[in-house]
Amino acid sequence: MKVGIIGAGVMGSSIAKRLLAKGVVTAEEIFVSDVDEGKWEKLAKEAGVATFKENPRVAREAEVLMLCVKPQQMAEALASLKPFVTPDHLVISIAAGVKTGAIEKMLAEGARVVRAMPNQCCLIGLSATAFSPGRNATKEDLSTAERIFSSFGKAYLVDEEMLDAVTGLSGSGPAYAYMAIEAMAEGGVEAGLPREVAVALAAQTLLGAASMVLETKRSPEELRKSVATPGGTTEAGIRVLEGGGFKGLLAKAVAEAAKRSKELSSKYA
């Protein structure tokens, strides 16, 4: 499988490195382009992959094209690729808000498109990625996409209309988790811990709690109740969170981010 990556920014570079680390492809099977010469030169040095300034060079070499550009750069990127993308290519986009239908319209008839929403944690192989097929994508295309996404985390197939909700939840979610770590660490500092220790404890605690949900298959509510014994320290802390509307605020944050994603998506309908 020859993979072309359009955009050598943080996400594009991280995906290229994870594909190599997981053995999905070899360095000779990855082709990357970016208008910023500094970015693709850096990636070429770090990963040993072929890099170019021109997008068409990538399209001529690759079978799978991953669009790792910002939404506002998508029209320009697709215009440069359109003469070179054939029905033999699989086009995968990770641009937030740009629907498969819009991408298909900007390419030649019959373009096979998959749209995905990974998150920042793909940098360390722990992304939560949801993906959806366009109208011409095949079952084999979805298998290929899942193989790629699984190289940098967990992958989930969803209907495209769910991707705005995915954006609000897992796309933006790392930021909410970082805020929780910040706040927990601040409480630890106020209670007497050195800041470095407080941050490490808070981060490890969130990592452990998330792993408990995924590995035990128990509900978050059940696990929470198993920690919060009546009259104990955890119950005292939870009373504060409930009094401040903690759960409601987080749910509202996800909903608001999803709403904004839907607004952005309407621009690319």
Residue 166 lies in a domain: no
Write the pLDDT tens digit of every residue in 149-158. 999 999 999 9
- Let me know whether 180 and 103 are in one domain: no
The percent helix, strand, coil of the chain (3-state, each to 5) is 60, 15, 25
CATH number for the domain spanning 235: value is 1.10.3730.10
* Dist CA 49 CA 168 (whole Å): 33
- Let me know whether 132 and 183 are in one domain: no
Listed residues 103, 131, 160: the one ending a domain = 160
Please enumerate in sequence order all residues whose Cβ is within 8 A of that of 69, keeping only pairs 6 or more positions apart, or say none. 6, 7, 77, 95
Residue 3 burial (CB count, 10 A): 25
Residue 59 is inside which H or E element, if any?
helix 55-61
Listed residues 160, 186, 210: the one ending a domain = 160
* Dist CA 223 CA 210 (whole Å): 11
The token pair at 239 is 């009373």
How many domains are contained in the chain? 2
φ/ψ of 90, rounded to 5, equals -105, 125
- Let me know whether 98 and 139 are in one domain: yes
pLDDT of residue 267: 74
User: Using an 8 Å Cβ cutoff, are 122 and 14 in contact?
Assistant: yes
Write the pLDDT tens digit of every residue in 84-137. 999 999 999 999 889 999 999 999 999 999 999 999 999 999 999 999 999 999
Residue 161 CA to its chain's centroid (Å): 17
Q: How much of the chain, in percent, has pLDDT values that exceed 70? A: 99
Residue 75 lies in a domain: yes
Which parts of the chain register pLDDT below 50?
Answer: none
C-alpha dihedral, 13 to 30 to 22 to 41, nearest 10°: -40
pLDDT of residue 210: 97
Residue 243 lies in a domain: yes
Q: Is the dihedral of CA 257, 250, 153, 195 positive or negative?
A: positive
pTM: 0.91
Contacts 24+ apart (CB under 8 A), 221-224: none
* Dist CA 127 CA 122 (whole Å): 4
Range of the domain at 153: 3-160
Listed residue (224, 218, 119, 206) closest to 168, CA to CA: 119
- Let me know whether 24 and 149 are in one domain: yes
Listed residues 136, 160, 184: the one ending a domain = 160
pLDDT of residue 14: 93
Residue 165 lies in a domain: no
Residue 137 lies in a domain: yes
